[in-house]
Structures are given as C-alpha cells and as structure tokens.
Amino acid sequence: MEKAAIELEATARTLKLLGDNTRLTVMGLLKDSECCVCEFVEVLKMSQPSVSQHLRKLRDAGLVKERRKGQWIFYSLNTEHETYPVIRHVLEQIPDQKEKLRALEEAGLRIQCDV
C-alpha cells in the first residue's frame, strides 16, 4: 500500500519530465542511440546551456545515464529505472526521431567515437 503510493508518485515525476517537448524529443532520440550534448544542441536548435539543464533534470531523476568519452559526454536511457516500462511505451507511441539523427549524419555533424 505504501509502496503503491510511491509508485504513483514516481510515475507522476517521470511523466512530468516527459511532458515537455524538448525532453520528450531528447528521450525519443535516445531511444535509438546514445547522443552527446552537441548533437542535441544541433537537432533541437537550442542553446547549449538550455539543453544541459534539461539533461540534468533527466539525469537527476535517473531517467538517463551519462558516460564520458574523451571530450564528449554521451547520454543514454537508463533502462533500469523504476518507471522504464512506462517510458518505453511512451517512446513507442511518439513518432520516430531517427530521421533527425540521419540528417545530422548527412551534415557530417554526428559524433563518432570508437572508445
């Protein structure tokens, strides 16, 4: 019972974070592959600090993980998160963001890292 209440609150916290165009797009991009900050900046056409602040919210909530690779920090979905089942389902419902990454690639702006 106590646990149940927590689950509802955890779900609400996650949904609140997903309930923003920028963050939902970020999560949609991460569904397909890990990305670094500068890629988000390019795709979202937003300032770097703004993107970083959104990523921090997602990370603070445990929805994404980060991993440094050289000068870049790559973000990826945290599939271990308590609410990941809901997240995955949401990401399956929204339009695929792959195309945006492909456009980046064609523009030569996709970060390739072999580490």
Partner DNA sequence: TGCATATATAAGCATATACTTATATACTGA
Partner DNA sequence: TCAGTATATAAGTATATGCTTATATATGCA
Kindly list the residues in this chain that would bind its own copies in the complex (CB under 8 A).
4-5, 7-9, 11-21, 24-25, 28, 83, 85-86, 89-90, 93-96
Binding site for DNA (CB under 7 A): 16, 20, 22, 36-38, 41, 46-50, 52-57, 66, 68, 70-74
- Choose the one of its own copies, DNA, none that binds residue 49, judging by a C-beta under 5 to 8 angstroms depending on kind: DNA
Q: Which is nearer to its own copies, 2 or 114 (CB)?
A: 2
Strand ranges for the chain from DSSP E:
35-36, 64-69, 72-77
CB 67 within 8 A of CB 55: no
Cα distances (angstroms) measured from residue 37 to each of 17, 83, 85, 89, 109: 18, 24, 25, 24, 12
Cα distances (angstroms) measured from residue 27 to each of 22, 31, 42, 59: 9, 6, 15, 11
- Choose the one of its own copies, DNA, none that binds residue 90, judging by a C-beta under 5 to 8 angstroms depending on kind: its own copies
Q: Which is nearer to DNA, 35 or 91 (CB)?
A: 35
- Choose the one of its own copies, DNA, none that binds residue 4, judging by a C-beta under 5 to 8 angstroms depending on kind: its own copies
DSSP annotation of 23 reads H
- Choose the one of DNA, its own copies, none that binds residue 61, judging by a C-beta under 5 to 8 angstroms depending on kind: none
Residue 57 half-sphere exposure toward CB, CA atoms < 13 A: 18
